[in-house]
Amino acid sequence: MKEFELIKHFFAEQIVKRKDVLLGIGDDCALIQPGERQHIAVTTDTLVAGVHFPLETEPRAIGHKAIAVNLSDLAAMGAEPAWVSLALTLPEADETWLKEFCAGVFELCEYYNVQLIGGDTTQGPLSITVTAQGITPADKYLLRSGAKAGDWLYVTGELGDAALALKHLQGKVKVEEVFTEQVMTKLNYPKPRVLAGQALKEYASSAIDLSDGLISDLQHICQASKVGANLVLDALPLSKVMTDTLDQQQAIELALSGGDDYELLFTVAEDNKVGMETSLAHAGINITCIGQINGSEKITTTLDNKPVSIGSRGFEHFSDKESDKGAEHQSDPQR
């Protein structure tokens, strides 16, 4: 199957047809028309086989995750997802693989009313690059740089299950069979927190999505906002499978540095705390307060109300191999 046949057969037909897409797939560019007093938020992520997902990952999961990780970035800014473009590099035009991959892409796009408006296909080692665009009101969106001393630090959902699934695949830990599907779903089919992001833009002072690990992404907020934070380790939301499979120290370290959670980490001023908690409770979104922002420009951690030091850090795409020698995340194919 030639390139343009492949595009027409697999990607040109989809259920979502947005009114703000004036011209979609089939020309040199797409044309989109946002409304008045709106900003367009744009994000791009690349997934590479053997780096961001294990080589044996099913194609439907790859398609889902390629879209989900981008929608998660939009969620962190409080943006409503609207359009995506897809650059797909394939070793060969395997029609069975493409059918399943597209199913993963379009299922998530349909759920969030997102239209695929263009992209590119080429031959080579398997990689997927998605550019997602969303809409925010011109005067209301979330940044990493808005946290202030005294703000409370929250996270959605539970932490560490996706990283636990990866360790299970690598044979580093053994997850009980009854929990295997649960953690594998967290790894392969993450749910972007779009609804939470929409609610939080009314209350939060800063936000970021958790892709590289809690401690690493918290550092991004602290650096952008020029603040510090105290992180309460025994407040971290851990699933039953995490606490049943690992001891406390292992579970905390994985929650801090594992990555691939795609939950939202955000800060809220004291005055907005009750309103935010009420809004997210009505939306059925579980949140946990895990610490507080301060003016120190350093991250400190406590366990059982006592200061503790941590050696964990999140994933870094281009790290110093010598200084990282022996670091567990260096051997993770999910990265």
Q: Express each pLDDT in 220-253 by its tens digit.
A: 999 999 999 999 999 999 999 999 999 999 999 9
Between 15 and 72, the more confident residue is: 72
Report the candidate in 194, 85, 82, 68 with the shortest Cα–Cα distance to residue 129.
Answer: 85
Q: 278 labelled as ligand-binding?
A: no
Q: 45 labelled as ligand-binding?
A: yes
Q: 63 labelled as ligand-binding?
A: no
Q: Do domains 3-137 and 152-311 have the same CATH topology?
A: no
State the Cα–Cα distance between residues 294 and 88, nearest whole angstrom. 43
Per-residue pLDDT band for 325 (boundaries 50, 70, 90) equals: very low
Between 327 and 54, the more confident residue is: 54
Q: Name the fold adopted by 152-311.
A: Phosphoribosyl-aminoimidazole Synthetase; Chain A, domain 2 (3.90.650)
- Structure tokens belonging to residue 81: 């997802």
Give me the torsion for CA of 70, 139, 224, 46, rounded to 10°: 10
The predicted structure's pLDDT at residue 31? 87
Q: 211 labelled as ligand-binding?
A: yes
Whether residue 86 contacts residue 102, with contact meaning beta carbons closer than 8 Å, is answered with no
Domain 3-137: CATH class, spelled out: alpha beta
Per-residue pLDDT band for 95 (boundaries 50, 70, 90) equals: very high
Q: 323 labelled as ligand-binding?
A: no
Q: What ranges do the domains of the chain cover?
A: 3-137, 152-311
pLDDT tens readout for residues 267-308? 999 999 999 999 999 999 999 999 999 999 999 999 999 999
Residue 319 confidence (pLDDT) above 80: no
Per-residue pLDDT band for 315 (boundaries 50, 70, 90) equals: very low
The predicted structure's pLDDT at residue 274? 97
Residue 327 confidence (pLDDT) above 50: no
